[in-house]
C-alpha cells in the first residue's frame, strides 16, 4: 500500500507569471509542506477508517504518521490493544520521503501480513478500503496560495 499525492496547475498566463517569479525560491519548499500535510491527513483518516482488534495494523499507519510529525488520534489502540501486536505493527511500517526541485513524494506503507485483506477484502469478508476511502475524502481541491506564506503549523486547518 502506498500513498502518493500529485498536484497539477493549469498553465494560464497569470499562473505562468506567478510561478516564474517564485519558481526557484518558494515552490519546492511550499510543495514539500503541502505534500507532508496532505499525507498526514490521509494517514490520519486511514487510521480512523481502519478496523481495530489488536491494533497491529493501525500501529503500522500510526508509526508512519508520527514520522511525518503527526499525532495519532485519541483511542487509536481500540478497547483491547495488545502490546506485542502494536510493537509488531510499528516495526512493519514504512515511510519514504523524497523532495527534489520538480517533485516531492511521500510513500507510507504497511507491511502487516493481512493489510491487503483488510483493504481489498476476501471471498468471505467485505473490504474496509481504509486507504481508498481516505484518499477519496481528500479529493477536493487543496488551496495552493496559502502554502507559500504559511508555516507548517499554520496549515492544520487548510486540509
Q: Could you count the other beta carbons within 10 Å of the beta carbon of residue 154?
A: 12
In the chain, where the domains are located: 13-50+95-148
* Residue 45, phi then psi, degrees to nearest 5: -70, -35
Per the CB < 8 A criterion, the answer to whether 120 and 111 are in contact is: no
Helix (H) or strand (E) run with residue 109 in it: strand 104-110
Query: What pTM was estimated for this model as a whole?
Result: 0.77
Task: Tell me what pLDDT residue 130 has.
Answer: 93
Retrieve residue 64's grid coordinates: 508512519
Q: How many angstroms separate the most distant Cα atoms in the chain?
A: 57
Task: Tell me what pLDDT residue 11 has.
Answer: 53
Task: Tell me what pLDDT residue 81 has.
Answer: 94
Task: Tell me what pLDDT residue 150 has.
Answer: 43
Task: Tell me what pLDDT residue 115 has.
Answer: 93
Q: Quick one: DSSP state of residue 20?
A: H
Pairwise CA distance, residues 138 & 132, whole Å: 10
Pairwise CA distance, residues 51 & 109, whole Å: 17
Task: Tell me what pLDDT residue 111 has.
Answer: 93
- What tens-digit pLDDT sequence spans the chain (159 residues)? 444 444 555 556 665 666 666 666 677 777 788 888 889 999 999 999 999 889 999 999 999 999 999 999 999 999 999 999 999 999 999 999 988 777 788 999 999 999 999 999 999 999 999 998 988 888 664 554 444 444 444 434 334
Measured CA to CA in angstroms, residue 23 lies from 8, 53, 111, 144, 148 at distances of 15, 47, 37, 14, 11
Pairwise CA distance, residues 17 & 107, whole Å: 32
Question: Going by C-beta distance under 8 Å and a sequence separation of 6 or more, which residues neighbour residue 43?
Answer: 3, 61, 64, 65, 68, 70, 108, 134
Q: Could you count the other beta carbons within 10 Å of the beta carbon of residue 74?
A: 6
Pairwise CA distance, residues 60 & 128, whole Å: 16
Amino acid at each position: 500500500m502506498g500513498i502518493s499525492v500529485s498536484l497539477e496547475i493549469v498553465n494560464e498566463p497569470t499562473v505562468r507569471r506567478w510561478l516564474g517569479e517564485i519558481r526557484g525560491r518558494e515552490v519546492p519548499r511550499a510543495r514539500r509542506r503541502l505534500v507532508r500535510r496532505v499525507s498526514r491527513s490521509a494517514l490520519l483518516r486511514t487510521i480512523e477508517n481502519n478496523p481495530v482488534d489488536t491494533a497491529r495494523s493501525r500501529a503500522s499507519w500510526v508509526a508512519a504518521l508520527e514520522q511525518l510529525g503527526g499525532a495519532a488520534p485519541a483511542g487509536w489502540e481500540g478497547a483491547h490493544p495488545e502490546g506485542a501486536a502494536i510493537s509488531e505493527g510499528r516495526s512493519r511500517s514504512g515511510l519514504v520521503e523524497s523532495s527534489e526541485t520538480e517533485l516531492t513524494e511521500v510513500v507510507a506503507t504497511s507491511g502487516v501480513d493481512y493489510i491487503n485483506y483488510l483493504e481489498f477484502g476476501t471471498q468471505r469478508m467485505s473490504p474496509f478500503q481504509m486507504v481508498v476511502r481516505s484518499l477519496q475524502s481528500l479529493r477536493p481541491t487543496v488551496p495552493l496560495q496559502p502554502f507559500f506564506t504559511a508555516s507548517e503549523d499554520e496549515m492544520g486547518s487548510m486540509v
